[in-house]
Amino acid sequence: MSLKPFKFQELCRKVKFEINFKLMDVIVKGCFDKFKQSSKNSFSDRQKRQEIIEYFHGIIKDCSQGRSSEKTAKEAVTCILRYHDIMRESNSSVCLMGKFHNVLYIALKLAFDWQIKDSGTIGTLIEQIFQCEKTFERLFLGAILGIRAPYFVAGWKSDFKDPEENIRAVVFFLDHACTAGLDFRIDKGALMRMIDVPLESCGFTTPLMMSVQLGLADKVHIFLRFGALLRAGEKDRENVSVVQNILLKLSEFDHKYPFNLIAIFQLILRVIPSLTQHLNGMLSYLGDVQQKTLLMKYNTLIEDGIIPITRSGIIPPELKHLCRCEIRKNLWYNHQLPLGIQELQIPEEMKRYIDIMYD
């Protein structure tokens, strides 16, 4: 369905007026109402969503005469959120999904493209997506698997042009979720941060665990910086934790270890005091023979220099490292990881150390 009948862009160029919220609301409603009679999957196609996004880019650009484009973009996103609310309320507060839900992904892309700074608006967008889907996989899968792979996993394509832009978008929205202090709960489970919400189409594993399983050290680094938890799910007894998973992977090799697994392991060692607790957890559910085999492998990893002696549990960790872990824990509790690190009154080198940029 064409958007040509809309003349707002031409009008803006002619009269150069400042758009206000009410007019933006009319533009948004007029745009989406054109698709009310079309199929439920009208916005399922990435190309169709991109057409709508480009249309709004033009509206924002042409209606920002003498004012901030970011502020105009914020108004557009706010009006899209309001439209989604109206559609949901018309269905007894249950999202109609399909095209009426996919408008949120149009708002998501606009928010990123115009780098909207208001965390209240972005937080509302993130919360509305979660309320309807109970997952953020449409954002994370494109960053982890690439923009085409999610189509085969979940039946949709990412709105971002390449994996690099997708991971920048993940960082952008994680920053806002942190600033807004957002927590999420699935059913009656524990509260969790955005970074730890499971990916439904991937066996409800977390973004961090999936990145570890795929050997993606760069993604692991980003997720750990934002304080991703090292558990695989809500019930650690039923799932192998991230630390246990990487230990088991490394124990499969005989002195020759893949570089990406070593890189991931070194990153994980920066955010935990030592491996003692995780090793004891693994030994607790193994038989005698399996325990002996694991301990032999563990000693081999120490001898090969993969596990530093100070993180192995044999001798205490460095005081500097323990302080880093404690500072990060307190920042995490206050929704300040990693953004709050820059507010600490310490030398820049120490900030980089706490932000796990080096060990």
- What would the two tokens of residue 201 be? 């189409």
Q: Is residue 108 part of a domain?
A: yes
- What would the two tokens of residue 179 be? 């600033």
Q: Is residue 195 part of a domain?
A: yes
In this prediction, residues 169-190 reach a mean pLDDT of 94
In this prediction, residues 174-193 reach a mean pLDDT of 93
Q: Is residue 274 part of a domain?
A: yes
- What would the two tokens of residue 220 be? 């692991």
Query: Of 206, 230, 254, which residue constitutes the final position of a domain?
Result: 230
List, in sequence order, the alpha helices (H) in 185-228.
207-214, 217-225
- pLDDT category of residue 344 using cuts at 50, 70 and 90: very high
pLDDT at 39: 63
Same domain, 95 and 199: no
Same domain, 210 and 247: no
On whether the CB atoms of residues 232 and 240 are closer than 8 A, the answer is yes
Answer with the residue of higher pLDDT: 186 or 181. Answer: 181
Out of 39-43, 207-211, 338-342, pick the least confident.
Answer: 39-43
Same domain, 220 and 245: no
Same domain, 218 and 179: yes
Helix, strand or coil, per DSSP, at residue 199? strand
pLDDT at 235: 43
Q: What is the per-residue pLDDT across 85-94, written as a single tens digit (0 to 9) for each?
A: 988 888 888 8
Helix axes 119-133, 69-89, angle to 10 degrees: 30
In this prediction, residues 151-168 reach a mean pLDDT of 80
Out of 30-34, 197-201, 214-218, 352-356, pick the least confident.
Answer: 30-34
In this prediction, residues 174-201 reach a mean pLDDT of 92
User: Does 75 have pLDDT greater than 80?
Assistant: yes
Q: Which amino acid is at 213?
A: Q
Same domain, 60 and 110: yes
Phi and psi dihedrals of 199, rounded to 5? -95, 110
Q: Is residue 150 part of a domain?
A: yes
List, in sequence order, the alpha helices (H) in 228-337.
242-250, 259-269, 276-284, 288-303, 319-333
- What would the two tokens of residue 320 be? 């500097």
Q: Which amino acid is at 352?
A: R
- 59: DSSP letter: H
Q: What is the per-residue pLDDT across 238-284, written as a single tens digit (0 to 9) for each?
A: 457 899 889 989 999 988 999 999 999 999 999 999 999 888 888 88
∠ CA 158-105-73, nearest 5°, is: 120
12 alpha carbon, distance to own chain's centre: 36
Q: Is residue 359 part of a domain?
A: no
Separation between Cα atoms, residue 35 and residue 162, nearest integer Å:
28
Out of 10-19, 99-108, 217-226, 334-343, pick the least confident.
Answer: 10-19
Same domain, 224 and 209: yes
In this prediction, residues 275-304 reach a mean pLDDT of 89
What is the rounded average pLDDT for all residues in the chain? 86
Domain limits for position 260:
236-354
Same domain, 158 and 94: no
Separation between Cα atoms, residue 89 and residue 270, nearest integer Å:
47
Query: Of 128, 161, 188, which residue constitutes the final position of a domain?
Result: 128
Same domain, 223 and 241: no
Same domain, 138 and 124: no
Same domain, 328 and 287: yes
Q: Is residue 146 part of a domain?
A: yes
Separation between Cα atoms, residue 210 and residue 230, nearest integer Å:
12
pLDDT at 20: 64
In this prediction, residues 190-195 reach a mean pLDDT of 94
Q: Is residue 17 part of a domain?
A: yes
User: Which percentage of the chain shows pLDDT scores above 90?
Assistant: 57
Out of 55-69, 111-125, 218-232, 332-346, pick the least confident.
Answer: 55-69
Q: Highest-confidence range of 144-148, 290-294, 337-341, by mean pLDDT?
A: 337-341
Same domain, 119 and 6: yes
Query: Of 172, 197, 230, which residue constitutes the final position of a domain?
Result: 230
Q: Is residue 152 part of a domain?
A: yes
Helix axes 69-89, 21-33, angle to 10 degrees: 50
Number of domains within the chain:
3
pLDDT at 18: 45
Q: What DSSP assignment string belongs to 158-174?
A: -SSSSHHHHHHHHHHHH
Separation between Cα atoms, residue 109 and residue 126, nearest integer Å:
12
Same domain, 195 and 242: no
Separation between Cα atoms, residue 93 and residue 89, nearest integer Å:
4
∠ CA 12-117-82, nearest 5°, is: 65
